[in-house]
């Protein structure tokens, strides 16, 4: 868990920055001499009022035994401003504390340490133009995909999957230090990115509510070590994207040279007093990812698609005789979707998602082809004061599913209340079915400022 308490100092300094704007004084309590005044800064400097939100999230498991699983309070604040002319900045910090670990005994101390509280710097970047390019340098989120409810082409940032794919996506994405350069030429958009500091997916620790189930192993195993690549120039991740926007047809072609975001289970086998045992070394390996996205307006429909080709993809095999338990394959993931509005009121989205393994090996625990169907419907009533929404996604071959009904109450410009549920079904080792005993209902209250 990222317990970078030094960010408290950063957030404190950021919160004081507005007092420097336009030559304003600091509060007198911070001055050594009450009569001392600060001279205006020798360069243009302005800061907008801080913005952000306070949010409380409560979740209760409703399968087997009814138990509280989340009582989280989140505080996030952002500060925007301008240095000199055309140089803008933004700082965003976030902190949360989950009281469920203090008020219940539902989880182990290891889960409490990993999920109980967090302070992090979400954004810290500068925006400025240079030589016809627009640069963003610093900690940021870079979003490439637009699929509903899933990550497919959205591959640049690592993910926080400790709560599976249930939180808002801007909460799931891990902000990363990057250089992002963009160039616009009429209907074309050219983008270059470089990430010198690596981040990898954060997964729930064993015993947590949404700890992922790993594929079965042919032998008992012991994880001996994790080889995490060092941050260096040669280990940086780089990507390029070319976009074209026409009146009714948008396309994006991209390439990313990166590390696999999840650890790969390399193993060796040795004899122990308990018999043959696998000793697992978790590693992160390089891969190439090439993708294409498009959206086309076909009135009254909007058609979308995303394609992602990954090579090499390291996959574990169910073969105790294999030298390291891993083989390299090529993977194609794609989604085709359609948007339509019924009765000028109900927004509807349908998506077909497929995962393909080329040159399939029968020793793999997963199928060569895995297909999903997702449906989403949302509407607004009383001038959007009440917004019901439902999302459903199912694996067509294994019949596991995720069902997410929700009602959003927009009380006013500041207050929002959400009531909903997350319900799973299917086989124990399937993508959604692994959480079939984790069905929950939730209540959220958010105050934005």
- Would you give per-residue pLDDT tens digits along the chain (449 residues)? 444 444 444 444 444 444 334 434 434 433 344 444 556 656 677 889 999 999 999 999 999 788 999 999 999 999 999 988 889 999 999 999 999 999 999 999 999 999 999 999 999 999 999 999 999 999 999 999 889 999 999 999 999 999 999 999 999 999 999 999 999 999 999 999 999 999 999 999 999 999 988 766 766 778 888 899 999 989 999 999 999 999 899 999 999 999 999 999 998 887 776 677 778 899 999 999 999 999 999 999 999 999 999 999 999 998 888 888 899 999 999 999 999 999 999 999 999 999 999 999 999 999 999 999 999 999 999 999 999 999 999 999 888 999 999 999 999 999 999 999 999 999 888 999 999 999 999 999 999 99
Instruction: Give residue 280's pLDDT.
Output: 86
DSSP per-residue string spanning 385-415: TEEEEEEEEEETTT--EEEEEEEEEE-SSSE
Identify the H or E element spanning 267: strand 264-272
Question: Tokens 């409810």 correspond to what residue?
Answer: 149
Half-sphere exposure of 170 (CA within 13 A, CB side): 6
Q: How far apart are CA 48 and CA 81, in angstroms?
A: 6
Question: How far lies 346's CA from each of 387, 388, 403, in Å?
Answer: 10, 10, 18
The pLDDT of residue 215 is 67
Write down the pLDDT at residue 282.
Answer: 93
Residues in contact with 360: Cβ distance below 8 Å, sequence separation at least 6, in sequence order: 329, 368
pLDDT at position 267: 85
Q: What is residue 30's predicted lDDT score, i.e. its pLDDT?
A: 38
406: which strand partners?
389, 420
- Position 34 scores a pLDDT of 45
| Residues β-bridged to residue 172 | none
Task: Tell me the C-alpha to C-alpha distance, in Å, between residue 33 and each of 29, 37, 38, 350.
Answer: 9, 9, 11, 65
The span from the CA of 425 to the CA of 166, in Å, is 15
pLDDT given at position 277: 79
Instruction: Provide the token pair at 378.
Output: 């949302």
CB burial class (10 A; 0-12, 13-18, 19+) of residue 49?
A: exposed
């Amino acid at each position: 868990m990222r317990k970078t308490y030094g960010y408290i100092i950063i957030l404190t300094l950021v919160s004081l920055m507005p007092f420097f704007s336009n030559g304003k004084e600091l509060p007198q309590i911070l001055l050594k001499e009450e009569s001392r005044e600060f001279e205006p800064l020798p360069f243009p400097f302005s800061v907008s009022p801080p913005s952000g939100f306070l949010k409380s999230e409560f979740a209760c498991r409703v399968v087997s035994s009814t138990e509280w699983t989340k009582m989280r309070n989140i505080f996030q604040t952002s500060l925007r401003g301008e240095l000199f002319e055309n140089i803008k900045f933004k700082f965003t910090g976030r902190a949360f504390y989950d009281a469920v670990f203090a008020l219940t005994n539902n989880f182990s101390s290891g889960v409490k340490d990993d999920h109980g509280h967090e302070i992090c710097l979400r954004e810290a970047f500068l925006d400025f133009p240079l030589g016809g390019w627009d640069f963003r340098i610093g900690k940021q989120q870079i979003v490439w995909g637009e699929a509903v409810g899933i990550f497919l082409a959205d591959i640049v940032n690592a993910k926080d999957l400790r709560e599976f794919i249930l939180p808002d996506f801007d909460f799931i994405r891990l902000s990363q230090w990057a250089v992002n350069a963009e160039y616009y030429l009429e209907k074309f958009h050219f983008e270059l990115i470089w990430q010198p500091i690596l981040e990898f997916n954060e997964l729930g620790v064993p015993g947590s509510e949404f700890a992922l189930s790993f594929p079965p192993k042919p032998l008992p195993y012991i994880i001996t070590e994790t080889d995490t690549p060092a941050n260096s120039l040669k280990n940086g991740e780089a990507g390029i994207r070319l976009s074209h926007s026409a009146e009714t047809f948008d396309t994006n072609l991209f390439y990313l040279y990166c590390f696999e975001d999840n650890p790969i289970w390399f193993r060796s086998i040795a004899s122990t007093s308990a018999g043959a045992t696998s000793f697992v070394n978790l590693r992160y390996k390089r891969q190439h990812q090439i993708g294409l996205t498009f959206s086309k307006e076909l009135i009254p429909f909007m058609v979308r698609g995303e394609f992602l080709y990954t090579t090499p993809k390291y996959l574990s095999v169910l073969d105790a005789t294999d030298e390291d338990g891993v083989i390299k394959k090529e993977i194609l993931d794609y989604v085709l979707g359609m948007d339509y509005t019924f009765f000028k009121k109900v927004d509807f989205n349908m998506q077909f998602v497929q995962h393909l393994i080329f040159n399939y090996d029968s020793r793999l625990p997963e199928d060569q082809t895995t297909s999903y169907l997702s449906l989403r419907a949302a509407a607004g009533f009383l001038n959007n004061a009440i917004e019901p929404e439902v999302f459903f996604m199912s694996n067509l071959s294994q019949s596991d599913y995720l069902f997410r009904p929700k009602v959003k109450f927009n009380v006013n410009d500041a207050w929002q209340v959400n009531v909903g549920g997350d319900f799973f079904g299917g086989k124990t080792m399937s993508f959604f079915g692994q959480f079939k005993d984790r069905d929950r209902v939730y209540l959220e209250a958010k105050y934005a400022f």
